[in-house]
A and B are shown apart, each in its own frame.
Chain A
Amino acid sequence: MSLLWALLLVPVACGIVAAVLPRPRAVLATCAAGALAEAALTALAVPAALEAPVFAGGAQLMMDALSAYNLAIVVLVFAFASVYAIRYFGPAVRDGTFSRSMARRFGAAWFGFLASMVLVLLSNNVGLLWVAMETTTLASGLLVCLEFDRPSVKAAWTYLMICSVGIALALLGTFLLCGEARGVTTGSQSPFLWTDLSAVASRMQPGAVKLAFVFLLVGYGTKAGLAPMHTWLPDAHGQAPTPVSAVLSGVLLNCALYSISRFLPVVEKATGGHGWAFSLLVPFGLVSIVVAAAFIAYEHDLKRLLAYCSVEHIGIIALGLGLGAVPAALFHTLNHSLAKMTAFFSVGNLYRQLGTRDSRRIDGLLRASPLSGAALLVAVLALVGAPSSSVFMSELWIARDGVAGGHVAPVVAFLLGVAIIFVVLLRPVLGMAWRPVPEGVPRHRAHALDWPGLLLPLLLIVLLGVWMPPPLAQALARASAVLGGAG
């Protein structure tokens, strides 16, 4: 059996197991074990895929460098989040609020989410890609309203509604593109397979392909949280349980952006390679950065702050793709996922400990909770692009490639936006960190299990900020070659 099938079947099997296990603790353990197994499988599968595309299931499944790279990020974040979930739900398990039915719901949806994201990345069939993308919405929608209280149900409703409607437009785009391809495919070629699509792309009519891409961009862009289609994002990310927020923010958005980028080379070939499709991403990226900056300045809920920050970073990645800085944008994807995940983890810890996520009501963070507080501070420093973090490096890289490509004005706007966010995002966090500790707040001692989840990603971020490992550099180059981007 091919590794690709294994990658799909492991989460499905784990999901089924998790849905019937009797005890919440066992479900959480299954989550962690399943995610780690998936990570191990990925580690086995990725090296081969980076060399040459791997196919399975009659070419319906394919893993090339781009999907391998994204898959690695997905399973990395999932593994961390699954382990973190054990700690996060621990108190709720003990006092019984994390009941059996809730645990089963969580386990099934968690693995359904993982399986659908893996399918998004492995699908060579663009129709199947859409199906998987919609499935991620459903599974994660169930995760957002896991606690079924009023705010989370409302958030899940908004999320489901906006994303389902948005993604229906992407389905229309898919149909239009495949309908156009149907006229030019020959013999055994299928208009739905991405490999065949890119093979015949140069024979398609540019007008029809452009129309299809606009629908695809708006549709999947909604899911990616690109402004102005981002309105569901703060609610969903803010109301979801923290491990879910980390996964939503850390990898789901990437997957949606991946779906858009899959179509970039096809559209480019069909429209004559003038960079039309890439240039369409630039305004969306810039608007996302600006909108995020505006909202961050007036937001006090820490999780919603981080959610808007995700809008910003997705904007940066889209901008990077649009400016032709493809390897830099892919690198930024990894950095953002690591930093955002850590930031969510530490906010989750703080919330559990202090009972609030309001940045105005938290004081003396570094003293009251040294580990989580420091991790949050460092993660936010990385997110705003402080030097010597890898986020700084990738942003610099995007700016450099952008200027080298002659796009000075967008780069200036991008740097301005990032500078504003540097101030408005850091301000509340610094305040929380350095304000004096109020009387009577006990110093929180971190559990031993808290350490690796917070420290490892941060170490990785700092390490990547100063040294680019050659295998990673090679993976980035191979992945961007799929998109046709220059190095």
Chain B
Amino acid sequence: MSLDADLLLLLVIGIDLFIGSTGRLVARIRACALQGLVLAALPLAIQGTGVLTGGQRIAHTGMAVLATLLLKAVAIPALLVYAMRKSGVHRETQPETSLHLSLLMCGILVGLSFWIGAVMLPSAGAGSSPLGVPAGLATLLVGLYLTVTGRTEITQVIGYLVLENGVFVIGQRVLGEFPLVVELGVLLDVLVAVMLMAVLVVFANRHPEDEAQDAPAAAIGGRR
């Protein structure tokens, strides 16, 4: 069981690095969706030591997996792709740092998070993967890095999502499982946040001649 978790967490780190190394927004969004998929699978691999048992536990995990899958792997990436198409910005044209440097930075951040994970948060829990905290921290830091250095709005949103994923991985590691109301609430908030951000992205990149029409209506389902 533990091997699966290890591999999934490694995949999470790998996706971080990939996102850091590509300038194409579609690729970044797809990677983000893949990360959401991995995140959805994570509760299946990590067996928490929570209070729930038996059928209740299965129902709980199932709900969490399904919600994560739907939102993080399907709905949010679809929204981002939509916003990207609509805003006409397809790649990170003038990144703050070159892609080589950004990949290297992401690598350094991953290294840093392993160090922090070893020094500050010694892995005490039994049964769960020792990679949980480093992988989560790495994802968090890479997300923060993307948000700070990203020039396009889409990259910043992706950075935010990656950061959120990182928080979830760490949470999964330290908590085993979340109360359903919290998990669903957080997911819903992220979805709405991304929706709002997508509308703003579309608006911010609109051509001046469209300015006259009602902006949100145009962004949500307008012409063009």
Judge A-B direct contact (beta carbons within 8 Å). yes
Chain B 151-164: CB-based contact to A (< 8 A → 1; otherwise 0): 00100100110011
Q: Please, which residue of chain B has its CB at the minimum distance from the CB of A171?
A: B167
Listed by A's residue number, 21 A-B pairs whose Cβ atoms lie within 8 Å are A125-B182, A127-B182, A127-B186, A128-B185, A131-B188, A134-B189, A138-B189, A138-B192, A138-B193, A153-B215, A157-B204, A164-B160, A165-B147, A171-B164, A175-B174, A176-B170, A176-B174, A178-B175, A182-B176, A191-B175, A192-B182
- Asked whether A179 lies within 8 Å of B196 as measured between CB atoms, the reply is no
- Asked whether B140 lies within 8 Å of A161 as measured between CB atoms, the reply is no
Given A127-B178, A175-B167, A178-B175, decide whether A141 and B196 contact each other with a Cβ distance below 8 A.
yes
Contact of A160 among B171, B174, B196, B214 (CB under 8 A): B196
Given A127-B185, A130-B186, A171-B186, decide whether A192 and B179 contact each other with a Cβ distance below 8 A.
yes
Closest chain-B Cβ to A473's Cβ sits at a distance in Å of 37
Q: Please, which residue of chain B has its CB at the minimum distance from the CB of A175?
A: B171
Task: Bin the interface of chain A by size.
Answer: 35 or more
- Asked whether A164 lies within 8 Å of B193 as measured between CB atoms, the reply is yes
Instruction: Determine whether A190 belongs to the interface, using a CB cutoff of 8 Å to chain B.
Output: yes
Chain A 456-469: CB-based contact to B (< 8 A → 1; otherwise 0): 00000000000000
Instruction: Determine whether A474 belongs to the interface, using a CB cutoff of 8 Å to chain B.
Output: no
Contact of B215 among A148, A175, A190 (CB under 8 A): A148
Query: Which residues of the partner chain B approach A148 to less than 8 Å between Cβ atoms?
Result: 203, 214-216
- Asked whether B216 lies within 8 Å of A125 as measured between CB atoms, the reply is no
Instruction: Determine whether A366 belongs to the interface, using a CB cutoff of 8 Å to chain B.
Output: no
Contact of A101 among B175, B185, B192, B214 (CB under 8 A): B214
Q: CA separation between A138 and B204, bound complex, in Å?
A: 18
Q: Which of A378-430 contact B (CB under 8 A)?
A: none
Instruction: Determine whether A168 belongs to the interface, using a CB cutoff of 8 Å to chain B.
Output: yes
Instruction: Determine whether B144 belongs to the interface, using a CB cutoff of 8 Å to chain A.
Output: yes
Closest chain-A Cβ to B58's Cβ sits at a distance in Å of 20
- Asked whether A154 lies within 8 Å of B215 as measured between CB atoms, the reply is no
- Asked whether B196 lies within 8 Å of A127 as measured between CB atoms, the reply is no
Query: Which residues of the partner chain B approach A157 to less than 8 Å between Cβ atoms?
Result: 153, 197, 200, 204
Chain B interface, DSSP helix/strand/loop, else mixed: helix
Given A156-B200, A165-B160, A171-B167, decide whether A190 and B186 contact each other with a Cβ distance below 8 A.
no
Query: Which residues of the partner chain A approach B171 to less than 8 Å between Cβ atoms?
Result: 171-172, 175, 179
Number of residues from B at the complex interface, CB < 8 A: 37
Q: Please, which residue of chain B has its CB at the minimum distance from the CB of A185?
A: B51
Query: Which residues of the partner chain B approach A192 to less than 8 Å between Cβ atoms?
Result: 179, 182
Contact of B204 among A141, A154, A164, A190 (CB under 8 A): A154
Query: Which residues of the partner chain A approach B140 to less than 8 Å between Cβ atoms?
Result: 172
A residues near B, CB below 8 A?
60, 99, 101, 105, 125, 127-128, 130-131, 134-135, 137-138, 141-142, 145, 148, 150, 153-154, 156-157, 160-161, 164-165, 168-169, 171-172, 175-176, 178-180, 182, 190-192, 208, 211
Q: Please, which residue of chain A has its CB at the minimum distance from the CB of B136?
A: A172
A128-B182, A131-B189, A134-B193 given; 18 more Cβ-contact pairs under 8 Å: A127-B182, A130-B182, A138-B192, A148-B216, A160-B200, A161-B147, A165-B147, A165-B159, A168-B160, A168-B164, A169-B167, A172-B140, A179-B171, A179-B175, A182-B175, A190-B179, A211-B120, A211-B121
Contact of B216 among A105, A141, A168, A190 (CB under 8 A): A105
Query: Which residues of the partner chain A approach B189 to less than 8 Å between Cβ atoms?
Result: 131, 134-135, 138
Chain A CB within 10 Å, residue with most, of B144, B171, B217: B171
Q: Please, which residue of chain A has its CB at the minimum distance from the CB of B218?
A: A148
- Asked whether B174 lies within 8 Å of A153 as measured between CB atoms, the reply is no
- Asked whether B200 lies within 8 Å of A145 as measured between CB atoms, the reply is yes
Q: Please, which residue of chain B has its CB at the minimum distance from the CB of A126?
A: B182
Query: Which residues of the partner chain B approach A141 to less than 8 Å between Cβ atoms?
Result: 196
